[in-house]
Chains A and B, each alone.
Chain A
Amino acid sequence: MEHAIIAEELVYSYGKQKAVDGISFQIGQGEILGFLGPNGAGKSTTVNMLTGLLKPQGGRAVLLGRDISKDVDSIQKYIGVCFEGANLYEQMTGEENLKLFARLFDVKDFDVKALIARVGLEGRGKDKAGNYSKGMKQRLMVARSLINRPSILFLDEPTDGLDPASAESIRRVIQEERERGATVFLTTHDMMEADKLSDRVAFINQGKIVALDTPHNLKQQYGKRALNIEVLDGEGKLQTREITLDTPDTPSQVREIMASEKVVTIHSEEATLEDIFIRITGRGLS
């Protein structure tokens, strides 16, 4: 797999505060990387360096085979960025916002209505962006990031604070972009979303990448696999029995409960990415 993004020992500090501390990773073409970490972990600084908004103070970032520090203008033609929080021209309509960026990207065959429809804003394209709800603004921002059919799509908290329908429509668009062959760099707090969408996830904490693998492998490596069995005791009250999986005693323990107790429910328990993040870093994401 060719790499769409190669980050090598990226470093960035704000004064004495090291925001990104020598991180390295590669992302393949057509891959979705979930970039996870709490506030202040260095996610946005990393995105800013990868998109050319900040020049790395150390290391280098290569996108589509070109060093972003040396060739930012040409790389930016092929990337799309959806920022965290709305940054739209609110006095302009949704369509005007998109047309402006289509002109900036010099997209000749731009079908604004099709793009508006793609993000579920049919019929609202002529409304001022300032009158949109938060979810609509976020969808318009996602649409804006797709104008140039980017080879790499940077999405910073694209579903943060959205209603389920808006969030789902954005997730659908992300999947479609991956199917088209775009590489997606997805920054999010939402572990469920990352788990669902990402081919791999990277945990960043205090400016360093502390884990990088597929969600499945991370769960295998760090997660606790267990069965939760709810049974009724002699007084008719629910009790929970937990049996750790993958041990030599597991089959006999399961057999014993099934034989001797009145089983109500059986669930397999799998560690979430949040559990794993806490286990690795000793802190939560929020």
Chain B
Amino acid sequence: MSARIIGALIQKDLALAMRNRFFSVVLVLGLVVYIAVYLFMPSDVDEDIDFGLVAKLPPGTIEQLEAGEGLKVHEFEADDELKTAIEDGQIMGGLSLPDDFIADITSGLPVSASLYYSSATPEEYRSALKVLLGEIAYTIAGKPLGVEVNTTVLGRDTTGSPIAPRDTLLPLFAVFIILTEMMSLASLMSEEIETRTIRALMVTPMNIRGLFLAKGITGTGMAFFQAVVFTAVVGGLGTQTGLVLLTLLLGAVMAAGIGFLVAAAGRDLMSVMAWGVLFMLVFSVPAFGVIFPGSISGWVRFIPSFYLVDTLNQAVNYGSGWGDLWPNLARLAGFNAAFILLGMWTVRRKLG
């Protein structure tokens, strides 16, 4: 086959792809989403250590610290402000020095300081904060001094209860399993629409509500069953069984809702796959926060699967209970209702 023929075929296929509104939309939407996710991630390797500081230090002390050690100091007026900044993910940790810190240190009296960091703060950073405290004392006193450190971990303190690497993967795999079944449901539904068998169903006593119910139960059931089997096999049902099962069920319902959306958007198996993968990628982002703590920040809470991932992680890996996690479940249920309603609306629109 000549290059001319191959070129003609490529040209034809490109033209057809560009004329296909679905491919064009997915192409643009995919680019937008991937670019947005990329831009949200840290843009460079920041070798400076950002930390918060509540202290009344002699003029020039902070500049002296920042000049030599690759440090970036964020000053706060009070401990509460510092804690809020840490909890909001603005900084990963900070120090609070008492008002008489300088007087005591220059007098050679024992001094103490408060060290705050979030549960997601990596161990290296925690160690660096302690070293930094010694540096501050040395800068002020001109000699090494012992400082008593009162450490406060904001959020759940995972120190001393490390999670095995494979357990950090559990939420990711659960999301993958659930969303894979979402694609199965979407494919079934899309095929039903495209082959017009849905019209045959709609002239029987089955009505549109029954159809959605049947499909919803099918999709939810398939996703829930597989997620439960997986979680049980990996030992995830050993603690907080009821909570974990409810979380998986809510995740499966979410998959059904998204399945409806994808079915309405897709035209055939390929387009369903394309839309499904888009959802899978975005919805799996929160799970990477479990695998790599500190790698993602607060915006991830806008991804609905965060509440599935976080609840599973907290319940399975840390034994958190209903009291801690009901807000997550409530939000997940809210997202589910939105997905189901939106999904049904889009499918109905497609059916005319």
Contact = CB atoms under 8 A, between A and B. Distances in A.
Interface of A: 51-54, 72-73, 76-77, 79, 81, 83, 85, 87-90, 101, 104-106, 144
A144 B201 CA distance: 11
Interface in B170-217: 195-197, 199-207
A79 B195 contact: no
A72 B203 CA distance: 9
Contact of A73 (B199, B205, B352): B205
B207 A87 contact: no
Given A90-B195, A105-B205, A106-B205, 18 more contacts: A51-B203, A52-B202, A53-B199, A53-B202, A72-B207, A76-B205, A77-B205, A79-B203, A81-B200, A83-B200, A85-B196, A87-B199, A87-B200, A88-B197, A88-B200, A104-B201, A104-B206, A144-B200
15 contacts: A52-B203, A76-B203, A76-B204, A76-B205, A79-B203, A83-B196, A83-B200, A85-B196, A87-B197, A88-B195, A88-B200, A89-B197, A104-B204, A105-B205, A106-B205
Contacts of A77: 205
A101 B205 CA distance: 10
Contacts of B204: 76, 101, 104-105
Nearest to B197: A87
The number of chain B residues touching the other chain, given as a range, is: 10 to 19
Contact of A54 (B197, B200, B352): B352
A144 B205 CA distance: 14
A34 B122 CA distance: 78
Contacts of B201: 104
A90 B196 CA distance: 12
Contacts of B202: 52-53
Nearest to B192: A89
Contacts of A85: 196
Contacts of A104: 201, 204-206
Nearest to A53: B202
Contacts of A73: 205, 207
Contact of B199 (A72, A79, A83, A101): A83
A79 B203 CA distance: 8
B348 to A, nearest CB: 12
A147 to B, nearest CB: 9
